[in-house]
Structure 1
Amino acid sequence: MENLFDLSGKVAVVTGTSRGLGQYFGRALAQAGADLVITSRDVSRLSEFQEEIEALGRRALPIKLDVLNESDIENMVRLAVAEYGRIDILVNNAGLNIRRPAAEVTWKDWDTVLNTNLKGSFFVAQAVGKVMIERRYGRIINIGSCTCVFGMEGIGPYCASRGGVLQMSRSLAAEWGRHGITVNVLAPGWFQTAQNKVLYDNKPWLEYITDRIPLGRPGQPNDLDGAVIFLASDASAYVTGQILLVDGGFTTGATRAIVETKSQPK
């Protein structure tokens, strides 16, 4: 049987690859055979990752991209198509968070988070989607989080943006399915990145979160590999408009409990 997870010959755009989850996703896709377009607002920060991908025997084209800049988005797509002739996969990863109590959130905070995470994701998907529509093939993976499906205190704008990403993805899936394009959300649970390092430095918080995860630990980088490869590959050809939570069971709402086993009288 043909290897449904093989990405050889495919071209994947992964946004926000200067650090963190973007690099996890790009690395996994390259290891599965894909050539990459890697992006950052500061293209100089991509050189080390570019070398890493090329050492795997894959190509990596670094391009400057600010997802809030329409010209940047158009230029990224133009350069990607000029280099590779196609875009098969989009991993819409670029995003940010501002942590602040709801009563202290400013208009600027709200606009910064929503514009980057939601507006930026939509217009990158739109620009890449136009190329995919012409070829009648595409895999769009919008990166969300557990907050696509539940709320958390102190990050109201972020939760709103991630909920919006899920609904946006469902809308695009409904509209672009006829063109051979699937659109899904990959929602990681608790993975340590530069963005949330301050939380992981807080031992009581880490113990609390770990206790909420049925598998008993936060995520490790390779825990996302299978999910992103699945959604990028032909293995998911009949999967669209869905959310795939990779969270160790966090969103079950469970907490671990000590169960005492007492011997029963015979």
Structure 2
Amino acid sequence: MKIHEMQKGIMLKDVRDFELPHVFECGQCFRWNKQEDGSYTGVALGRVINLKKEDNNIYIDNTNADEFMDIWHSYFDLDRDYGDIKKQLGKLDETMMTSVKFGHGIRILKQDEWETLVSFIISANNRIPMIKKAIEALSENYGEFIGEYGGKRYFSFPKPEALCNLNIEDIQFSGIGFRAKYILSAAKLVASKDIDIYILRNMSTENAREQLMLFPGIGPKVSDCIMFFSMDKDDAFPIDVWVKRVMEYFYVPEGTSLKKIQSYAQEKFGSIAGFAQQYLFYYARELKIGRKK
């Protein structure tokens, strides 16, 4: 991969394993939106950028080479060899081989722990359009103004200190509903440092999961999402309805408990279980595999 600086942006030449729909529509993030020209505009780490892919080149608008190396190189996980991960998983069985081919351009974003925690609290038993709507409303009302891009005003995700003294009624935007009390509890715990979410990445996956589940409203699935999408816990294996279906369809008997599915996945996929989960999730959801008619 080579970096070329351009007016108001950069070009990444000959990028491997990076398909924009696979990255931004695989369920890991909620502030990236597809534009009419096929590009994606998103807010992350207090900035707004736009990505467009042509051939094997990716154009990133509203940044520069220094910012790319300081922020976006890590955010897009560009140091990792996804070809090797796909090779390891593809050797396991035909299902994984098919899954990694289907979602061949997935990359796992390095997201902020606090934003990821709240985003996945909102995601519980919720639809993606409503999740996005709720996160945008929180940001517009309690985040900081970043600037305008493409004729739209953008705001950063609100810090815990901006939410911790609010009332439930203050954040009951469409899409949040009963989750408001969990968000405010999380804001209080993080702002007071009763739970320091930024040191959990240094713990074992098991201990980090236990700490995350101290937050009201966070169970095993949400905790594993937070760990994998923001804490470098590559062995985490979030199990939602689609993952449960695909695991029962290909690997375990129908009706297997979530705990047993988790144990099976940890044993089968080991230290890269999270990547296996993403390929399986994207494959199952897009093709509706295992969905009851």
| TM-score (norm: length of structure 2) | 0.26
Flag the structure with more relative contact order, 1 or 2, with Cα contacts below 8 A and sequence separation at least 6: 1
| TM-score (norm: length of structure 1) | 0.28
